[in-house]
Structure 1
């Protein structure tokens, strides 16, 4: 979602469940129709970043051949950590891994997704 002039905007593909979600949450909603080869709408709305991120996550998760729901938070956090550090030097990534391992998480990804 994009913060634009104090309004929240949801930009999605044309799946109907997104329209209902936007209405319930009071979001401005723009759709991009990829079936009709529409990549950008009104010169600024697109979903390519989300699709790219989803493809990277899906490809990374496939190596595990499925994960238990109770461990999903751990896998998502691991992937997020790898993504955030992908442009860092190896030594810096090791340092961050050690620091992260000592910190207590204060959120639960699955619960946040369920509440959305």
Structure 2
């Protein structure tokens, strides 16, 4: 899956893209007209200009990878569902288990209803 298809429609042109040094990010930033700051972690550089870094993204990615590995792979068309599930669990990790289960079930119903209403209004 190419990066433009996943992120392209969700990034405002005034945004700053701060990434590692992978060449696909540089190309994406150029295509979208974004300011781009690349951090070369391989060379031991963890911040740029004293404010740009990718530690939060790397930390989240590590946490997400650890969590998603239990499923032994996810089909791309369901990836959004897994990402929302993970986000819900992260945002509510201090909530008692029974309350979290109840909230997750209620939230999933609200999302389905919202999607259905949106889908019907577009038809």
Please, which moves more after superposition, 62-71 or 21-30? Answer: 62-71
Cα offset, 1:87, TM superposition: 3.2
User: 1:104 maps to which residue?
Assistant: 111
Please, which moves more after superposition, 17-26 or 85-94? Answer: 85-94
Cα offset, 1:9, TM superposition: 0.2
User: 1:35 maps to which residue?
Assistant: 42
2:28 pairs with one of 21, 27, 33: 21
User: 1:68 maps to which residue?
Assistant: 75
SS in 2 for 1:7: coil
**Which whole-Å CA distance do the structure 1 matches of 2:42 and 2:89 have between them?**
32
**Which whole-Å CA distance do the structure 1 matches of 2:87 and 2:106 have between them?**
15
Q: Which one has the bigger helix percentage?
A: 2
Instruction: Give me the TM-score of the superposition, normalised by structure 2.
Output: 0.72
Runs of 4+ in structure 1 over 6 Å off: none
User: 2:56 maps to which residue?
Assistant: 49
Instruction: Structure 2: give runs of 5+ residues left out of the alignment.
Output: 1-12, 116-123
Cα offset, 1:53, TM superposition: 0.4
Equivalent pairs counted in the alignment come to 102
Instruction: Give me the TM-score of the superposition, normalised by structure 1.
Output: 0.76
